[in-house]
Copies of this chain bind each other. A is one copy, B any other.
Amino acid sequence: MTRVGILGATGAVGRQMLECLEERHYAKEDIRLFASERSVGKTIPYGNDELVCEKIEDGCFDGLDFVLGAVSNALSKEYAPMIKKTGAVYIDNSSAFRLEEDVPLVVPEINGEDALHHKGIIANPNCSTIIAMMALAPIHALSPIQTIVASTYQAVSGAGIAGIATLSEEVEAVRSSKPVNPSVFPAQIAYNCIASIGSMNENGYTTEEMKMQNEGRRILHNDDLLVSCTCVRVPVFRSHSISLSVVTKDKLDLQDVRNAISGFAGDVLVEDHVPTPLETSNQDDVYVGRIRKDLIHENGISLWCCGDQIRKGAASNAVEIMDYMLRHA
């Protein structure tokens, strides 16, 4: 039996990881949940049963095959050595290790093979990056992608349970003409868009925006990839959308691109309508539509993709990395 721990089990991603294990029929006895001090003892439903959150302490990870991490960078760095010592594989959703050379950064459908060369830690990529790369990997396989211009439409779930609650609360405040006091986001997100996710780098791009280039390069195995990204929070609950314009090395036929996307595991080619974040919520596939020739570059292609941020953008991808490793063990 594969024994799995979830680190940060009470957050939006941690809870989704548990749901993914339930979908895969993991026995209750093979799962252990870990959470911060204030959540220790808290129970979380599992099928008709429930699981109890345990304290994180010396030896707590003993006997586990995998630990799925859904905690902050700081906590991830703190616990990673404890996990490594036990021999469990740590699949980490934080960005703490994503750019470390000996840590594979993996979207299983794209570079699952990389996961097999881990040294104890495997990093789960940024949510928008996963969804964009799922749409672009089949194109990259036809001809190397050289540049990407990306504008994101990111759901509030990216800020966790607090982000989701904030959108609901702010809509309610607007409804009853009460003042909105932004806390989780830098401005009111209800009926608004905020082009600021993460902190600002000196080059004028946010940390979130640079992930599309830095992580995209590692996932696509393309060190020369250039990405100009604008990350924008929108009042959507849990699915990210991304407007993408790419230039490939060779000129591609649009029908070849469509065929490649529709044949790519985890992608759904949508041609009869325009995919939306709402319809892609609560499921694992990335929907790709609006595939068309770019009007600027001979070798350019533009498209629109949507995928659930908590699932494929985080929890499902982490669990699928584990699935991949078990299949290739």
Q: Which residues of A contact B (CB under 8 A)?
A: 147, 149, 151, 153, 167, 171, 175, 186-188, 191-196, 203-205, 213, 226-228, 230, 232, 234-237, 241, 243, 245, 254, 273-279, 289-296, 300, 302, 304
Contacts and interface: CB of A to CB of B under 8 A. Distances in A.
A236 B236 CA distance: 11
Nearest to A230: B243
A278 B195 contact: no
Specify how many copies of this chain sit in the oligomer: 2
B241 A193 contact: yes
Contacts of A291: 204
Contacts of A213: 295
Contact of A153 (B232, B237, B278): B232
A187, A274, A290, A295: residue with the most chain B Cβ atoms closer than 10 Å: A295
A228 B205 contact: no
A148 to B, nearest CB: 8
Contacts of A302: 204, 228, 230
A193, A203, A290: residue with the most chain B Cβ atoms closer than 10 Å: A193
A309 to B, nearest CB: 13
Contact of A241 (B195, B227, B300): B195
Nearest to A237: B191
Contacts of A171: 171, 175
Contact of A203 (B275, B289, B292): B292
Contacts of A186: 273-274
